[in-house]
Amino acid sequence: MPSSLCAKWLADAWDQNPAMFVMSPIGAKMEEVCEKWLAELLHLPQGTAAGFVSGSSTAINCALLAGRNYLLKNLGYNVSASGLNNAPKLKVAVSEGAHSTVFKALSIIGLGQDNLIKVPMDEQGRIRSDMIPPLDNGTLLILQAGNVNSGAFDDFKSICRKASEAGAWVHVDGAFGLWAAACDELAYLTEGMEYADSWSMDAHKTLNAPYDNGIVLCRHRGS
Ligand SMILES: Cc1ncc(COP(=O)(O)O)c(C=O)c1O
């Protein structure tokens, strides 16, 4: 598309410079505009924050870090100041069908791999909502919009609102699938995911953008 070619030229020319507002006010402004467009397109809560990163793996890292810090803060613990050594234990529930990068991210951010609660999946790779453990304000729950093998979406409608009421942090890995929310015929697949706390996706898969990029979205702007 001529428009995507022009966008690529602009990105090639500007990419080095828009790290900060002072370096490229227009770059910063364009991020703000894209942030608003994304929240609208995906039917996410007004005021959702977006960060533009190098791919879905990095977006997942950022989102889970935000979730970890938020939960610990609510438990009265400042992990940035005190580190993880004496932090309260978080419960991490993740589908056994989650993408490998989710497990890697949990390892990178210090939540490990051995202590996770791996929730069984159904034959399509959807998390079994009846097997999710009790949730509370010390729980990180990771769901998926688009299983990489089957394309299946977790049942956000029955999970997200309940999880949010329990005070858990819900992250949705939607590397390629989150875009379904922007499409009238497919939006039903993502119904209920607007109650989650963070989402990750990218534009180099479904949108076929010709360079690696990722997007992390977060309901809690300060996190
Ligand atoms: C569901 C899912 N999550 C995360 C990723 C990681 O994406 P990236 O390669 O952009 O880091 C992928 C990649 O295939 C994926 O399919």
pLDDT tens-place string over residues 161-213: 999 999 999 999 999 999 999 999 999 999 999 999 999 999 999 998 888 89
Q: 81 C-alpha vs ligand 1 centroid, how far in Å?
A: 31
Answer yes or no: is pLDDT of 6 > 80.
yes
Q: Which 8-state DSSP code applies to residue 121?
A: B
Give the per-residue pLDDT at 7. Answer: 81
What residues does ligand 1 touch, defined as CB less than 6 Å away?
Answer: 55-57, 99, 101, 146, 148, 173, 175-176, 202, 214
For residue 214, give the H/E element and its range: strand 214-218
For residue 38, give the H/E element and its range: helix 25-41
Residue owning tokens 């399509």: 124
Residue 58 lies in a domain: yes
Residue 28 lies in a domain: no
CATH code assigned at 90: 3.40.640.10
Q: Quick one: pLDDT band at residue 26, thresholds 50, 70, 90?
A: confident
Query: Of 15 and 182, which is predicted with more confidence?
Result: 182
The separation between CA 27 and the C-alpha centre of its own chain, rounded to angstroms, equals 23
Secondary structure of residue 91 in the 3-state scheme:
strand
d(CA 9, CA 6): 5
Give the per-residue pLDDT at 124. Answer: 96
Structural domain count of the chain: 1
> Average model confidence (pLDDT) for the chain?
95
| Cβ–Cβ < 8 Å for 168, 195 | no
Residue 63 lies in a domain: yes
Most informative mutation of 60, 64, 94, 101 for ligand 1 (most atoms within 8 A of CB): 101
Supply φ then ψ for residue 63, to 5 degrees. -65, -45
Contacts with 179 (C-beta within 8 Å, 6 or more apart), sequence order: 42, 201, 206, 207
Q: What is the pTM of this model?
A: 0.95
Residue 180 lies in a domain: yes
Q: 179 C-alpha vs ligand 1 centroid, how far in Å?
A: 14
Q: 86 C-alpha vs ligand 1 centroid, how far in Å?
A: 32
Contacts with 145 (C-beta within 8 Å, 6 or more apart), sequence order: 153, 154, 156, 172, 173, 174, 177, 178, 180, 181, 189, 190, 193, 199
Q: Quick one: pLDDT band at residue 45, thresholds 50, 70, 90?
A: very high
Atom of ligand 1 nearest to the CA of 214: 10
User: Ligand 1: which residue has its CA nearest to atom 7?
Assistant: 56
Q: 185 C-alpha vs ligand 1 centroid, how far in Å?
A: 23
Give the per-residue pLDDT at 214. Answer: 97
Residue 92 lies in a domain: yes
User: Ligand 1: which residue has its CA nearest to atom 14?
Assistant: 148
Vertex 105 angle, CA 99 and 110, to 5° = 140
Residue 24 lies in a domain: no
Residue 59 lies in a domain: yes
Q: 219 C-alpha vs ligand 1 centroid, how far in Å?
A: 21
pLDDT in tens, 59-109: 999 999 999 999 999 999 999 999 999 999 999 999 999 999 999 999 999
By residue range, what is the domain housing residue 95? 52-218
Answer yes or no: is pLDDT of 216 > 80.
yes
Q: Quick one: pLDDT band at residue 57, thresholds 50, 70, 90?
A: very high
Give strand ranges (E) for 101-192. Answer: 117-119, 139-144, 169-173
Contacts of 4-7 spanning 24+ positions with Cβ under 8 A: 4/209, 4/210
Answer yes or no: is pLDDT of 157 > 80.
yes
Which tokens in the block code for residue 75?
């438990």
Q: Is the dihedral of CA 81, 84, 86, 88 positive or negative?
A: positive
Residue 34 lies in a domain: no
Give the per-residue pLDDT at 17. Answer: 78
